Amino acid sequence: MALFHYLHDGSQLSAALAQVHLSILIIITVVSIVVLSKGADWMVDGAVSLARRTRIPTIIIGATIISLGTTMPEAFVSVLAAWMGDGGLALGNGVGSIIADTGLIFGLTCILAATPADRFILNRTGWVQVGAATLLVALALLALYRSPGGPILHRWVGILFILMLVGYMAVSVRWALMHSNPGVIVAPGKTGEVQSFGLLKSWVMIVGGLALVIAGARILIPCATETAFRIGVPNDVIAATMVALGTSLPELMTAISSVRKGHPELTVGNIVGADVLNCLFVIGASAAVKPLAIPDNFFYFHFPAMLLILYSFRVFIFMNRDGFFRRWQGAWLLSVYLVYVILQYAFNLGSAN
């Protein structure tokens, strides 16, 4: 129970780690990385095996089951922040995660591996991805012009997003049944051989791997932050790097494992699904709990960055008629993300993570 309490309460975990010797911190950091890597491997193997057993495309597994699991930390943090009255953090966690997932993680995936662009799925989930984000910005702008006391996302917006999420999950199942392609797409130069397991073991590997990924990330980030502080790294640099990385570490480790095992399509599904869930689930649940005040910097910085990355992704889907994303497209998305982070740090425009 003590371990669960530390995983739940970040401040108490950080306080406990502050009492630990530097050498022990380094050991814990290394062990956390190993746990993250192993958990991601289990999750990818279980997801690919489940896709083969059920004949559901791997990209759909990534867009629903895996993305739902990897966005749980963001949802927990945002709902708690909204409940405590910090609407900027709740909204920023969802928007910042969309930017990091698509810019950093998907951008890196495209650079490192030939990434399939399944047009059947992406011409459907991709429109939900960009449509949900556009609706969020449109509602925020409407609130800006109609709320003399400051723009607010009211509870009805949160309820609307939750209802849209239910519809999205139901339609995803229908799309999976309509999709006639095999469950597993293998990137060029990879064998894609993954041992097949029974349905129960596949689910155990997915859930168990996800638990290891979340627990490892929860421990790794404060350990790395405390270690950086001990060796003299400035606090603002830590905030702009370690904290920002922490919100997207589960998706990042899943992407690395997927690429290494020759199944980058799982990352595509995870990123698209995570973007939808960060908007409809993370922000929707937060607004449903308590109306979210929208800080000014979202309108001139965070929202434009999010839309630039998502509409770039949408254009790339349209362009890639041969079924694969290009490395230069990944480089563009990664560049936009890096500029976003640099501007955020250089001009103190406020963190969205």
Percent of the chain with pLDDT over 90: 16
Whether 52 contacts 266, CB under 8 Å:
no
Show Cβ contacts of residue 65 under 8 Å, excluding neighbours closer than 6 positions: 47, 50, 206
Q: What is the mean pLDDT of residues 255-274?
A: 74
**Is residue 180, in this structure, part of any structural domain at all?**
yes
- Residue 353 domain-assigned? no
Q: Which residues pair with 72 in a beta bridge?
A: none
- The answer to whether 66 and 205 are in contact (CB under 8 A) is no
Write down the pLDDT at residue 233.
Answer: 59
At 101, the pLDDT band (50, 70, 90 cuts) reads: confident
Alpha carbon distances (Å) from 213 to 67, 90, 133, 199: 13, 22, 27, 21
> Mean pLDDT throughout 69-75?
66
pLDDT at 192: 44
Q: What is the pTM of this model?
A: 0.72
With 0-12 / 13-18 / 19 or more C-beta atoms within 10 angstroms meaning exposed / middle / buried, residue 258 is buried
Residue 216 tokens read as 């490892």
Q: Specify whether the CB–CB gap between 105 and 271 falls below 8 A.
A: yes
Q: For residue 147, give the CATH number of its domain.
A: 1.20.1420.30
Residue 57 has pLDDT above 90, yes or no: no
Is residue 161 a part of any domain in this protein? Answer: yes
**pLDDT tens string 267-312:** 777 788 888 888 998 899 889 988 888 888 889 888 999 999 999 9
Residue of 294, 10, 253 whose CA lies nearest to 150: 294
Checking if the pLDDT of 153 tops 80, the result is yes
Within a domain: residue 156? yes
Residue 319, Cβ neighbours under 10 Å: how many?
12
Identify which has the larger pLDDT, 321 or 339. Answer: 339
Whole-number average pLDDT of the chain:
76
Across 96-100, 231-235, 334-338, which has the greatest mean pLDDT? 334-338
| Domain limits for position 47 | 2-346
The two tokens of residue 324 are 């694969």
Kindly report which listed range (168-172, 279-283, 325-329) carries the lowest average pLDDT score. Answer: 168-172
Residue 352 lies in a domain: no
Please state the domain count of the chain.
1
Question: What confidence score (pLDDT) does residue 265 get?
Answer: 67
- Per the domain annotation, does 351 fall within a domain? no
- What pLDDT was estimated at residue 27? 85
Residue 124 token pair: 């459907």
Confidence grade of residue 179 (pLDDT, cut at 50, 70, 90): low
User: What residues pair up with 153 in beta bridges, in sequence order?
Assistant: 292
> How much of the chain, in percent, has pLDDT values that exceed 70?
67
Q: Summarize pLDDT for 4-55 with one digit per residue, the tens.
A: 444 445 567 777 777 888 888 888 877 876 776 677 667 767 776 776 676 6
Concatenated DSSP letters for 108-140? Answer: HHHHHS--B--HHHHHHHHHHHHHHHHHHHHHH
**Which of 142, 160, 140 has the alpha carbon at shortest distance from 302?**
140
Task: Report yes or no on 226 lying in a domain.
Answer: yes
User: DSSP for 331-342?
Assistant: HHHHHHHHHHHH
Q: Which range, 66-80, 92-106, 337-351, has the best average confidence (pLDDT)?
A: 92-106
Q: Does some domain include residue 282?
A: yes
